[in-house]
Amino acid sequence: AVGSAAMAEGEGLLSVDYEVFGKVQGVFFRKYTQREAQRLGLVGWVQNTSHNTVRGQIQGPTARVRELQEWLRKVGSPQSRISRAEFSNEKKITALEHKDFQILK
């Protein structure tokens, strides 16, 4: 696993905020997002907003972050209907700012 850690180091870590619009509340969207993030080894958080969107932050190796962005844009949970996903505050980071991927209330 030493090689893979060095590789992740080489491509750097990315942090990006996201907000997903559409039918994304009451459809287990947060749970699925957490599961997908954990599968990809990413950290961050997800929460419902008061205006019926889901938002959060993802951090991890750039390629993995890109995978989750794609998932948030196109896949989501089985019952969800994503109209669009917006990403902001993208930046390179030197260390992860979260220990795991949490669902916030």
**Residue 7: pLDDT above 90?**
no
Active-site residue flag, 52: no
Residue 53 per-residue DSSP state:
-
Residue 104 per-residue DSSP state:
E
Residue 84 exposed, middle or buried by CB count within 10 Å (0-12, 13-18, 19+): exposed
Average pLDDT over the chain, rounded to an integer: 92
Q: Tell me the fold of 13-103.
A: Alpha-Beta Plaits (3.30.70)
- pLDDT one-digit tens code per residue, 58-97: 999 999 999 999 999 999 999 999 999 999 999 999 999 9
pLDDT band at 105; cut points 50, 70, 90: confident
Dihedral angle over CA of 8, 32, 105, 66, nearest 10: 30
Active-site residue flag, 81: no
pLDDT band at 10; cut points 50, 70, 90: low
Exactly one of 39, 48, 64, 73 is catalytic; which is it?
Answer: 48
C-beta separation of 17 from 97 below 8 A: no
- pLDDT one-digit tens code per residue, 35-57: 999 999 999 999 999 999 999 99
